[in-house]
Structure 1
């Protein structure tokens, strides 16, 4: 829904939606199975994080929400069991998030 522009800053209650999305990313807890499967979930979480920052409604994120997403990506990158692919995906997400944040700075 984010990729297709279905979350616009002008929509009613969009700020609440962005807050919920950021909280979900920051507090995501899932039952660990095997590490390879867990990495797939973490990669999807990284993808969602970057999409949240890229969408039109990202201007509604509070500084706290934005930092929660960013620090979650850093935590994923810092996992001691993280494969090179997961670390690379985390770096890409962090790069995209940083570029998106600074491109909107006024």
Structure 2
């Protein structure tokens, strides 16, 4: 069964937060790191994934992504701080993804949709 993951990424200064969708969190994290290093200019350089929600269906994941996209910055910050108060990178090499408190498995959300 495929995993459908919604994540929130941020830049080193926590100035920008952005929600996104992926099926491979490690590949997405590597992609963010690569573009943060290669990017020049005024675009935000997202390099950390600080919040993740897992869904069993694509439709429920897309609904949640749309919901998170409409959140204000303060709402996103509250969500992140609730599960990851220090805004640590969930995908860092020393982190066990399955046991990280910021990984919120959203089975109840997926069942409700």
TM-score (norm 2): 0.28
More strand by share: 2
| Higher RCO (CA-CA < 8 Å; seq separation 6+) | 1
Q: TM-score by structure 1 length?
A: 0.29
